[in-house]
Structure 1
Amino acid sequence: MKKFGSLFLATAILAGITLAPVTTFAADGGNYDSNGVITFAPNTDITDPVDPVDPTNPVTPVDPTDPTGPKPGTAGPLSIDYASSLDFGTQKITSKDEIYQAKPQKYLDKDGVEKTGPNFVQVTDNRGTEKGWTLQMKQNTQFQTVDAEELTGAEITFKNGNVVTASASGKPTGEATIVADPSGALKDVMAAADGQGAGTYLLDWGTDATTAATSIELSVPGSTTKYAKKYSTTFTWVLSDTPGN
């Protein structure tokens, strides 16, 4: 009986092993999916000016009216990063109608080398919406001396305006010619419609140092009284989140 019982148990165990289910594995190890994610937020940092000829490179502009340098741009995410100050030089008094040219923009490139290029205004949209914007400008006063003597009839014309960017978003529309109004009326400069203008954009006056030298003009009538003094004016650049047409 002992032998018979042991034989029966051994047979049962063997039968259990033989009848157990067999698991099959894929020859290549199978597939497994995982995820990747990144989230962007509006950027409120100040954006540095870039090269008006090669906007992929940052630059340090030279302000011809302020030896301490230009003031920083406005804080983002929708910002005016820079606008050139204009220097029409020292001119002889004359009784003829005259047109004077603004000097090109001087700046130091990323290696500290001084260069010249077009005067420009720069806007950055880091809101992350691509909802468009509008840039305008006004001349706050007529050219005048510290004693409030006006350069009557003087008029500034910005010519050869062209939009420059390294951004892939749709290009804003830039005004090819702008005649400033010394009485302070706003003038359109550059406008991005809905679906345009995400990134950094410059409106250059001229395409290089040569054309820049003839792209911003100050016309002064010969009949205007001119004192042997310095005349100056100021401009205000106005950026709104209103999409251009």
Structure 2
Amino acid sequence: MKKTTILTAGIILFSSLLGATSTFAAEGGNYDSKGEITFKAGTNPESPLDPVNPDPTKPVVPVDPVDPTGPIGGTNGPLSIDYASSFQFGEQEILTTDKTYYAQVQAYTDSESVAKTGPNYVQVTDKRGTQKGWELSVVQKAQFATTEGEELAGAKLGLANGHAISDQQTGLNDTDKAAITPTATVSTGETGLVPGAKTVIMTAAEKQGVGTWLYDMGTADTAAESVSLLVPGKSVKLRAAYKTTLTWTLSDTPVAP
């Protein structure tokens, strides 16, 4: 009987210790710590990208076919124009009939120093962090003219086959791609620029156009005929170079969906 009592006491004491251990563990409680990161609008200029495969980790060096010292650098700020192609129509014989000439395609050196060609293009970047949308437009400041001011009367510069491209489209289905992609307003047919008049090229509605986007003038198949210059046969043509300037403007004016 004495042994039974001692054994029973031992069991009760052991059970009490287990209960105490379990209670202490439950009283450890919870503790929350935090993590935080804050972004601000980006201001550093972006490098030109490959118009065929715009990978931001593989910038390219474009060739300016008009100015051998170019191209000029892009604009600074959270909403920037990073690059715009210049159009070279080459040396042509004087004709007395209407003739359409096509600009040379964009030449560039890729990130591995390989010489390539692709569509002429304009590259823009939105790093504002607002998703408010934007508008890209162009103005041909004046008619093609010589350094002495002799104009190429009736000449019409045309853009065609435009489309928006970005690495952000990679892997998305058509619905998700459409939700983030700006609208290329000069996409089908040909739009002729009117000297002195604004032409809207690409628009991004709210939540579209975030990051870097390219307006490509043509694809691998159509790039060689996507930038044109129609010269009337009756226009006077001197033995001289005719030039014009295109001013590209990126506005933060929100565009309605």
TM-score (norm 1): 0.86
Partner of 2:35: 36
Partner of 2:125: 124
Find the partner of 1:219 among 230, 235, 239: 230
Q: After TM superposition, give the deviation of residue 23 of structure 1 in Å.
A: 3.9
Distance in 2 separating the partners of 1:37 and 1:112: 40
Residues 106-127 of structure 1 show CA distances to partners (whole Å, capped at 9, x for unaligned) of 0110011110000001110000
Aligned partner of 2:59: which letter? Answer: P
Three-state SS of the structure 1 residue aligned to 2:81 is: strand
Residues 116-159 of structure 1 show CA distances to partners (whole Å, capped at 9, x for unaligned) of 00000111000011110111100001000011110000001100
Where do 5+ consecutive residues of structure 1 fail to align? 1-17
Q: After TM superposition, give the deviation of residue 161 of structure 1 in Å.
A: 0.4
Aligned partner of 1:206: which letter? Answer: G
Where do 5+ consecutive residues of structure 2 fail to align? 1-15, 170-178
Residues 155-192 of structure 1 show CA distances to partners (whole Å, capped at 9, x for unaligned) of 0110000111112671111121432112x110001111
Partner of 2:7: none
Q: After TM superposition, give the deviation of residue 230 of structure 1 in Å.
A: 0.5
Partner of 1:205: 217
Distance in 2 separating the partners of 1:55 and 1:38: 28
Partner of 1:180: 193
Contact in 2 for aligned 1:167/1:198 (Cα 8 Å): no
Distance in 2 separating the partners of 1:91 and 1:244: 41
Partner of 1:150: 151
Aligned partner of 2:133: which letter? Answer: G
Aligned partner of 1:242: which letter? Answer: T
Which protein is bigger by CA-based radius of gyration?
1
Q: After TM superposition, give the deviation of residue 34 of structure 1 in Å.
A: 4.0
Q: After TM superposition, give the deviation of residue 239 of structure 1 in Å.
A: 1.1
Distance in 2 separating the partners of 1:48 and 1:103: 22
Three-state SS of the structure 1 residue aligned to 2:222 is: helix
Find the partner of 1:229 among 229, 240, 245: 240
Distance in 2 separating the partners of 1:100 and 1:188: 23
Contact in 2 for aligned 1:143/1:231 (Cα 8 Å): yes
Partner of 2:75: 74
Three-state SS of the structure 2 residue aligned to 1:238 is: strand
Partner of 1:195: 207
Q: After TM superposition, give the deviation of residue 50 of structure 1 in Å.
A: 0.5
Partner of 2:47: 48
After the TM superposition, which of the residue ranges 159-168 and 30-39 deviates more from structure 2? 30-39
Partner of 2:176: none
Three-state SS of the structure 2 residue aligned to 1:213 is: helix
Distance in 2 separating the partners of 1:101 and 1:206: 12
Distance in 1 separating the partners of 2:123 and 2:165: 9
Contact in 2 for aligned 1:178/1:189 (Cα 8 Å): no
Distance in 2 separating the partners of 1:244 and 1:66: 34
Distance in 2 separating the partners of 1:26 and 1:62: 70
Aligned-pair identity (%): 53
Distance in 1 separating the partners of 2:31 and 2:93: 80
Distance in 2 separating the partners of 1:117 and 1:223: 33
Q: After TM superposition, give the deviation of residue 217 of structure 1 in Å.
A: 0.6
Three-state SS of the structure 2 residue aligned to 1:124 is: strand
Three-state SS of the structure 2 residue aligned to 1:43 is: coil
Report the structure, 1 or 2, having the larger helix content: 2
Contact in 2 for aligned 1:132/1:193 (Cα 8 Å): yes
Distance in 1 separating the partners of 2:30 and 2:62: 55
Q: After TM superposition, give the deviation of residue 66 of structure 1 in Å.
A: 1.3
Question: What RMSD in Å do the two structures reach over aligned CA positions?
Answer: 2.1
